Amino acid sequence: MPRSLQTTSSWALLLRLLALLRPPGLVEACSCAPSHPQQHVCHSALVIRAKISSEKMFKGFEKVKDIQYIYTPFDSSLCGVKLEANSQKQYLLTGQVLNDGKVFIHLCNYIEPWENLSFLQRESLNHHYHMNCGCQITTCYTVPCTISAPNECLWTDWLLERKLYGYQAQHYVCMKRVDGTCSWYQGRLPLRKEFVDIIQP
């Protein structure tokens, strides 16, 4: 049985509906494949900034209507989400909209404390991420890493830092060039050299 949680929220983006992924090993019985924050935003039906007021209901505001409830599995072994309630802490939540209209989140979604997001990540939620959903992000675990299409970017945080949401996830966006290829960018700057060097022919 899913449980529901209560929050207040400041904004939401409505995006396409798709299953979401998160790093492996969060919970033994809840296995999720890794997914870059940009992928989470591109493949989610809902992205909101929320503050939890109780473990009864997520309350937020999206562009079209007031979000009264967000549901999650009851137990973490079933990928249920537990967040701090009755505090000033705010979260970035991504989720799905079910056929009956209910908003649903689980541990395989991208769920981060708002304070942990970089400036680029916060700015990209409204702009860079969803404008570059045509780019594909491939996780690199070991060298050599290769891409199979010109619209792919290699995600190297696990290889270089042994964590998924490292420097690259926090400070770079996989952006499409005018020729249709995709590359990592930090604002107007190209990707740091070590991210490029792991690409082998």
- 134-197 is a CATH 3.90.370.10 domain: yes
Confidence category of residue 187, pLDDT binned at 50, 70, 90? low
Indicate the CATH number of 2-116 among 3.30.1330.60, 3.40.50.300, 2.40.50.120, 3.40.47.40.
Answer: 2.40.50.120
How many Cβ atoms from other residues are within 10 Å of residue 38's Cβ? 26
- For residue 4, the model assigns a pLDDT of 59
Residues of the chain with CATH 3.90.370.10: 134-197
Lowest average pLDDT, out of 5-19, 62-76, 82-96, goes to 5-19
| pTM attached to this predicted model | 0.74
Residues of the chain with CATH 2.40.50.120: 2-116
- Is the CB of residue 153 less than 8 Å from the CB of residue 135? yes
What letter represents residue 42's amino acid?
A: C
Percent of the chain at pLDDT > 70 equals: 70
How many Cβ atoms from other residues are within 10 Å of residue 151's Cβ? 16
In angstroms, the CA 8 to CA 132 distance is: 29
Q: Is the pLDDT of residue 179 over 60?
A: yes
How many Cβ atoms from other residues are within 10 Å of residue 83's Cβ? 19
Given CA atoms 190, 194, 198, 200 in this order, what sign does their dihedral have? Answer: positive
- For residue 6, the model assigns a pLDDT of 54
In angstroms, the CA 34 to CA 39 distance is: 10
- For residue 174, the model assigns a pLDDT of 96
Arithmetic mean of pLDDT, 139-163 = 92
Q: Which residue has the tokens 């890493």?
A: 145
Arithmetic mean of pLDDT, 163-188 = 90
Q: Is the pLDDT of residue 52 over 70?
A: yes
Confidence category of residue 175, pLDDT binned at 50, 70, 90? very high
In angstroms, the CA 201 to CA 197 distance is: 11
Arithmetic mean of pLDDT, 182-188 = 82
